[in-house]
Amino acid sequence: MRVLVAEDHRTMADRIAEGLRDAGLAVDVAYDGSAALTAARQSAYDVIVLDRDLPGVHGDQVCRELAGRGPRIMMLTAAAEVDDRVDGLELGADDYLGKPFAFHELVARIRALGRRAPSAPPLVRVADLTVDRARHRASRGTRALALTRKEFGILEMLAAADGAVVSAEDLLEHVWDAYADPFSNIVSVTMARLRRKLGDPPLIETVVGRGYRL
């Protein structure tokens, strides 16, 4: 899952990003509203964590422009009154969290937003493979799979696709952040490691010229 953190307090933004990366998410950071809009136009984010009081372009305007266009929006604000929460949701935000907040709650809410697509249930089973997207775990038969964040990210996207083909470009867009080299072979290398860990019989098919499917 790829996330954009839009927060003008740099220390907080960087700490949120670091914590989300530790939780296995691909994260980019924008420190003002203009940068957030530019990033959202350039990359396909699953969730945007949006501070309401952004400088430049106010967070409310960012929310209005991006709501309903693909990414789910989690709005953050120091104002925790009911009217403030209602205002944020009416702007088009999908969820709302007041500051200060418990970090594990933020992670849980982001993952819940990322699972909202009807084709992406929290628990997916294919043959003897189980992908638990809610708990960030995978197993084959009775064997738990020790996967890296990127390996699980690929497996999660393939599982969410429900048998459809997922291109290498889409995997790079959603599993890695803005610093990934689009001309590298990082997707194919990570895919090879994932296949070895999944074992036999093979579960991931390469569709020549199109991508991969589970």
Structural domain ending residue among the three candidates 90, 114, 138:
114
Are 12 and 70 found together in one domain?
yes
Shared domain check, 195 and 144: yes
| End residue of a domain, out of 84, 114, 144 | 114
**Tokens 């991508």 label which residue?**
211
Same domain, 33 and 103: yes
DSSP string of 134-165, one letter each residue: TTTEEEETTEEP---HHHHHHHHHHHHTTT--
Q: Do 33 and 127 share a structural domain?
A: no
Same domain, 128 and 75: no
CATH of the domain at 195: 1.10.10.10
Are residues 58 and 30 part of one domain? Answer: yes
Domain coverage including residue 139: 123-213
E strand or H helix that includes residue 113: helix 103-114
pTM over 0.85: no
Judgement on whether residues 84 and 137 belong to the same structural domain of the protein: no
C-alpha–C-alpha distance, residues 171 and 8, integer Å: 29
Does residue 19 have a pLDDT over 60?
yes
Residue 5 — very low, low, confident or very high, per pLDDT cuts 50/70/90?
very high
- Structure token digits, residue 167: 């291109």
Read off the CATH number of the domain in which 107 is found: 3.40.50.2300
17 lies in the same domain as 78 = yes
Residues 101 and 65 occupy one common structural domain: yes
Mean pLDDT, rounded, for 100-110: 90
Number of domains in the chain: 2
Same domain, 90 and 157: no
pLDDT of 87 strictly over 60 = yes
With 50 as the cut, is the pLDDT of residue 118 above it? Answer: no
> Which tokens belong to 87?
């205002």
For residues 162 and 112, is the Cβ–Cβ distance under 8 A?
no
| Predicted pLDDT of residue 82 | 57
Answer positive or negative: Cα dihedral of 22, 161, 115, 64: positive
> For 164-213, what is each residue's pLDDT tens digit?
899 998 888 888 876 677 667 889 999 999 999 999 999 999 999 889 99
Does one domain contain both 74 and 148? Answer: no
List 28's β-bridge partners, or say none.
Answer: 4
A 10 A CB-CB count for 172 gives 18
Last residue of a domain, one of 59, 86, 114: 114
pLDDT band at 81 (very low <50, low <70, confident <90, very high): low
Residues 99, 176, single domain; the answer is no
